[in-house]
Amino acid sequence: MAALSKGTALTAAARPLLAGKTPAKAAKAGRTGTARRARPLRAVRALGGESVVDVLTRQHRQIRLGFLRAALPGPGRRRNFDRLMRLLAVHEAAEEAHVHPVARKTLRHGRDLAARRRREEKEAKRLLVRLWRTGPHGPGYLRRLNEVRRAVGRHAAREEREELAALRRVLSPARLRMLGAEVKLAQAYAPTRPHRWANNEFTNKLAAPVLGPLDRTLDAARRRRSR
């Protein structure tokens, strides 16, 4: 029995060496792994730690208010119009690149649900491009603004009722906060005006590093001209 106990002890002591790690190295590897897991959590906290549902529903309220402001006459109409276009562009880009893919993979009937949202967004983006080309002082501006407002409003209501409510039930609070951080980060680099061909996960992620900086450069030039 004593020999068995000794052999067992030797085997246990040798395991870290056979695995290629000393106890100190194993502890260091454990700390490194913990640090790596903590990085996404720090990123989430840095971006506010908001649930994706809270981020998007808050932006839906901002968009509804943005449509009202963009309809007002006066010298501020151009500024309000540009703000609305920017908010709509970055909002939809982040949803198409990050939210709908998660819904498609995790929700029951998620593929059909995400496909419906994408069809609605594609139609809204078609109207949005027409509105962008018309501009805040072009002929038929208010009529086209109302067309986009109705399309976007219907889409947002269905999204909150079907997709976002289901994501809140299915995903953990930590995953919802992580997805909220992904959305905020994507919006920081997304194009700021509507591009009709960027209407799915792949094209939005492809457009961000190319069209995002270009749109922001054009926005800055327009602001300088308007001073």
Domain ranges of the chain: 50-226
pLDDT at position 223 is 73
From residue 146, alpha-carbon distances to 64, 122, 141, 215 in Å are 11, 17, 9, 25
Selecting from 1.20.120, 2.60.420, 1.10.287, 1.10.3470, what CATH number does the domain 50-226 have?
A: 1.20.120
N- to C-terminal Cα distance for the chain?
Answer: 91
Give the list of residues 6+ apart from residue 122 with CB closer than 8 angstroms, or none: 199
pLDDT value of position 144: 97
Give the pLDDT score at 58. 97
Residue ranges in the chain whose pLDDT is less than 50 = 1-21, 38, 41, 43-44
pLDDT of residue 164: 96
Distance CA 227, CA 217 (A): 16
70: left (phi over 0), alpha (psi -120 to 50) or beta: alpha
73 and 136 Cβ atoms separated by less than 8 Å: no
Please state the pTM of the whole predicted model: 0.73
